[in-house]
Amino acid sequence: MSGTSTPEPYADKPMFEPDGDRWEEKIQVAYKGDNHEVTLRFSLARSEARNPKDGQDAGSKKYGQHAKRNVGISLMRADRELVLDQSLVNSYDPASVGGGGG
């Protein structure tokens, strides 16, 4: 989305882009006897947001800190975020946890 509260340089341009070929899926959800179409969209931070040209860590930038506070699943309606659900967000890096794969 554009026109968000994200700090520069992403205040007026989207920091995220569609993720993959099937980044948008429409599904039917039954609720109170009616079927409703729900659109699922999957996005990923743009490469230039993840890897800034100045060599700094993206997470140390103002937009990186903003993104960190907004990780999760956004429930949107009429181009407005109603809820940011962070219940599925890990508070650790699963790649750094021991246990090893085989």
Domain ranges of the chain: 16-88
pLDDT at 26: 95
CA 29 to chain centre: 22
Give me the torsion for CA of 65, 67, 70, 72, rounded to 10°.
-130
pLDDT at 49: 93
The percent of residues above 90 in pLDDT, for the chain, comes to 45
CA 12 to chain centre: 17
Coil, strand or helix at 43? strand
Per the CB < 8 A criterion, the answer to whether 61 and 70 are in contact is no
Q: How confident is the model at residue 1 (pLDDT cuts 50, 70, 90)?
A: low
The tens digit of pLDDT for each residue in 58-98 reads 989 999 999 888 888 888 888 888 999 998 888 777 777 66
pTM for the structure as a whole: 0.67
